[in-house]
Chains A and B, each alone.
Chain A
Amino acid sequence: MAEVPSETNVREKPVEQIDTVVIRFAGDSGDGMQLTGTQFTNESAVAGNDIATLPDYPAEIRAPAGTLAGVSGFQVNFSQGRVFTPGDRPDVLVVMNPAALSVNIADLRDGGILVADSDAFTLANIRKAGMDGDPLADASLNKRVRVYSVPLTRMTTDSISDMGLPNKTMVRCKNFFALGLCSWMFNRPIEQTLTWIESKFAKSPALVEANTRVFKAGWNFGETTEVFVHTYEVKPADIEPGTYTNMTGNRALALGLMAAASKAGKSMFFGSYPITPASDILHELAAHKNFDVTTFQGEDEIAAVCSAIGASFGGALGVTASSGPGIALKGEALGLAVITELPLVVVNVQRGGPSTGLPTKTEQADLMQAFFGRNGESPLAIVAPATPVECFDMAFEAVHVALKYMVPVMILSDGYLANGAQPWKIPDYDELPDISVRYWKGDLGFHPYLRNEDTLSRPWVIPGTPGFEHRIGGLEKDYDSGDISYDPANHERMTRVRAEKIERVSEDLNPLCVEGSELGELLMVGWGSTYGALAQATEELNAEGLATGHLQLRWLNPLPVEELKRIFARYKTIVVPELNMGQLVRILRERLLVDAIPVSRVQGQPFKVGELKARVKAIVEEGR
């Protein structure tokens, strides 16, 4: 076997310094590309780079092997500067078969690197991918990008052929060859991967050995073969000191909810029904039953939300999570939470719609649903985290608001945030704010809709409290007695109070923060997961001389209208890019009477910075 690589190895080949690299691993669903990408990301994090990732897996669980439908990809952008997005176009594309090449090759930037497993480019596979000749031999492709045909499968099996493993098992190790090769190419620290292999396959020492050997074989192949002339290095980014871990949006949400419930001194009840891309929140919470968390997998979305409402009535923090179709089913019950004025946190991890739509793809088309998707005047507080790690902070804030104001709060995440990962500076739990709620201490004249003067919230008196037996429900209640009321004026008064409670949430919110130019030609207003693309575009536009500001809204209801007006006045053009047909833009136009211009994209994919810039520039040009 070749020499074992280690951190101290002196690299023979010259090292080229670069700022930023975007690499995409693509292969068949069974090829382990998600794992390869995640592991490469972890190595890059350990190397001190700033990173952003984009997993992209097929909707089918087991599409036929080798077909276009079965292609799974994972893209990671790592840099010595700040990283806002997983990158528009990869600099490096690793493909494990012709289908993966076919699906991804157009994205690879000119002059980029293509690494392909030449063993997988058999005639049959090429046909399955809908191509005629061997694409790796294609002259125009070879002119456009640097093609490295590597007999990856064969070298994988060669490196472990003496272990007596079945051929199928050997072949399955090939993603570690690709990982080893890329780790070499970008000078990634590999200790972490080696320990990871040990723990991941702890149950099978043979697999530990096989994968370790294949990984090292990949690394050594880069180092020893003539094919590659030099390696690349991306220096560590200037990152705030602290301890970090890689965090996905869904996990951050789960942890934020748990931490907030604990800081509020509440048990958490999580009612849910499985749905992509929200299920991981349920999985995460179900694994932490020692944290005073009860998870309940209801028979449907309605049961999930209703059980959470019942739990809140009982004094727990009720939480439910779903994606658009499930949120639609929860609509009536959300109205019940509004009118009974119980605390409730509702998570919508948005996906492409309508109907079943694009379950595994991202979209922001449920904003109107969040605002208006229920019968009657039934406002919720709405908050949208901008990055995966912000899901933690926004979940924490959402819990606080729900408890303090006795309102349902909707968190709008999406598939991109849910599965995307980002380094998270691990907070100290003890330094998180205390958000404990005070129960009503009054005595005489209690009724369930007596209001706190500041927050307008009603008292949360829970069953088991002697002397305060009372009934609440979905029928309108009298402002003064809490009894059922059909009085016309009372209904309007209660309707206004329910809306006013949401407005009062403003007092707890941070002031808006504009990034980029403080004033100038253009303001881009976004919400949710588009943050990265908008931030990157803003940086580049300013560098190109277009004075551009960027405002990413977190809380959408209440909307700080006056503050927005002041900010909007500082720019000539207001543009609102969204992954929908223009939803926030409608609300801004209506609430601020401003001629804000939508930039829409509904392709189940995040914005590409290049495309976004071009479209925004065209709008500015037109306005001149």
Chain B
Amino acid sequence: MSGEQAKLNRKDFVSDQDVRWCPGCGDYAILAQVQRVMPELNIPRENIVFVSGIGCSSRFPYYMNTYGFHSIHGRATAVASGLKLARPDLSVWVVTGDGDGLSIGGNHLIHLLRRNLDINVLLFNNEIYGLTKGQYSPTSRMGQITKSSPLGVADHPFDTVSLALGADATFVARTVDTETRHLQAMLTRAVEHKGTSFIEILQNCPIFNDGCFEEVSGKGSRIENQLVLEHGQPLLFGPEDARMGVALGKDMSPQVVSMDSTPAEQVLLHDETNEALGFFLSRLERPEFPVPLGVIRAMDRPIYEKEVMAQAERALSEMGKPDFNKLFCGGDTWTVE
């Protein structure tokens, strides 16, 4: 159908709406990368739908010249699930925030991940409630001072990746708003994955939580703190002249080792299909350990909407074409003359 059409470019995905994020907001960079990757996917524009909840991040669909649905707080994953079940032919994307997806919408998110519908979820994590002007979120760090925690956050945060892995997600990745290439690569991988793809995008909110990811995005610190994962490659990080690796200590706990003094075989190799390794990576805590970026888990599992369609087909072959008159007479009947 669209094979004849001229190849689309980035501009084709830019809607006519003025973008209303604060200057310097990390959301701009993410929007730009998504718009850049879309034409490469060769999906007809009319078959792409962005669904969001509520939050700064959830304004996203208005800026994409695709179909879009800006729903209610926390429920984008549920709306998207119904949409995908009704229309498996569509490429469905969810854009959510750390509050939208992990707090009010946490329940729907974990159930989407376990069901494994072929939906791509982009969670913009700025460790703050942006739209409501700066309250702490479920990913805010303990002690963090925000409008609603003047004495510091008292509750323990979620690690987004651990949560997704715990919910049995089949594809989990993490990237950073400022890492344009890496972000693009993750988007492409997410589309390639069949099943729910979950990407945590570390996003700066210069207004209410500026520099929250400075260690992974800052010029000076990023090299030291980014553990960029590649399937089959060793877990190495740090500058060329001072390479470090992640190894397994004697007590099975993670250890940072210097490559100057450690044989290469001791360093762990990344394996996207190894569930235990995924959990291990997701538990590496700052600042002692670097932040894993990349595809943490990618594995195959039956896709929910495919199972549902298969059931419908089975029902058709076992029970036959719809016959309402037969259905109406399904119970005991009697005739009055």
Contacts and interface: CB of A to CB of B under 8 A. Distances in A.
A and B from one assembly?
Answer: yes
Interface of A: 42, 45-46, 48, 192, 196, 236, 239-247, 255, 258-259, 262, 267, 269, 271, 288-292, 294, 296, 298-300, 302-303, 306-316, 318, 332-333, 335-336, 340, 426-430, 462-475, 483-484
A336 B312 contact: no
Nearest to B80: A310
B81 A303 contact: yes
Of A45, A336, A469, A483, the most chain B CB neighbours within 10 A belong to: A469
B11 to A, nearest CB: 14
A153 to B, nearest CB: 29
A255 B334 CA distance: 19
A302 B69 contact: no
B242 interface: no
B44 A241 contact: no
Contacts of A271: 82
A483 B84 CA distance: 25
B83 A473 contact: no
A464 B336 contact: no
Contact of B324 (A45, A429, A474): A429
Contact of A463 (B64, B90, B111, B336): B90
B293 to A, nearest CB: 30
A464 to B, nearest CB: 6
B234 interface: no
B46 A469 contact: yes
Contacts of A192: 332
A210 B270 CA distance: 66
Contact of B82 (A269, A289, A468): A269
Interface string B74-110: 0100111111111101100000000000000001100
A307 B334 contact: no
Of A312, A318, A335, A426, the most chain B CB neighbours within 10 A belong to: A426
A427 B64 CA distance: 48
A590 B320 CA distance: 52
Contacts of B320: 290
B219 interface: no
Contacts of B66: 469
A146 to B, nearest CB: 31
Contacts of A303: 75, 78, 81, 107-108, 111
Interface string B107-122: 1100100000000000
Given A303-B108, A318-B82, A471-B62, 8 more contacts: A243-B335, A288-B319, A299-B107, A303-B81, A311-B82, A311-B86, A314-B83, A471-B68
A262 B323 CA distance: 11
Given A245-B329, A303-B78, A303-B81, A471 B70 contact: yes
A307 B328 CA distance: 28
Nearest to B337: A241
16 contacts: A48-B334, A240-B336, A244-B333, A269-B85, A290-B322, A302-B78, A302-B108, A306-B75, A309-B79, A318-B86, A426-B329, A428-B325, A464-B47, A471-B64, A473-B71, A483-B17
A406 B327 CA distance: 29
B65 interface: yes
Nearest to B332: A42
A514 to B, nearest CB: 28
B82 A310 contact: yes
Given A332-B72, A469-B67, A474-B70, A262 B322 contact: yes
B75 A302 contact: yes
A199 to B, nearest CB: 10
B321 A290 contact: yes
Contact of B79 (A262, A290, A307, A315): A307
Contacts of A255: 327-328
Contacts of B111: 298-299, 303
Contacts of B335: 241-244
Interface string B41-59: 0001111010100100000
Contacts of B328: 245, 255, 426-427, 429
B61 interface: yes
A246 B330 CA distance: 10
A290 B82 contact: no
Contacts of B316: 289-290
Contacts, number: 207
A464 B51 contact: no
B67 A470 contact: yes
Interface string B287-310: 000000000000000000000100
Contacts of A428: 325
A294 B85 contact: yes
A275 B62 CA distance: 37
B70 A296 contact: no
B46 A463 contact: yes
Contacts of B107: 299-300, 303
A543 to B, nearest CB: 26
Given A289-B311, A300-B107, A463-B47, A314 B82 contact: yes
Contacts of B89: 464
A267 B86 contact: yes
A443 to B, nearest CB: 15
B90 A471 contact: no
Contacts of A259: 324
A336 B76 CA distance: 12
Of B86, B108, B320, B324, the most chain A CB neighbours within 10 A belong to: B86
A462 B47 CA distance: 10
B332 A310 contact: no
Contacts of B315: 288-290
Contacts of A467: 46
Contacts of B334: 45-46, 48, 243-245
Contacts of B333: 243-245, 426
Contact of A307 (B15, B70, B85, B329): B85
B331 interface: yes
A484 B335 CA distance: 59
Interface in B226-257: none
The 10 closest A-B pairs by CB, nearest first: A473-B70, A307-B82, A310-B82, A471-B68, A306-B78, A429-B324, A311-B86, A289-B315, A310-B83, A310-B79
A240 B337 CA distance: 8
A34 to B, nearest CB: 15
Contact of B86 (A42, A288, A294, A484): A294
A45 B335 CA distance: 10
Interface in B1-52: 2, 15, 17, 44-47, 49, 51
Nearest to A293: B312
A269 B67 contact: no
Contacts of A288: 315, 319, 327
Contact of A296 (B2, B17, B85, B322): B85
Contacts of A45: 332, 334
Of B61, B87, B89, B325, the most chain A CB neighbours within 10 A belong to: B87
A298 B314 CA distance: 22
A464 B86 CA distance: 12
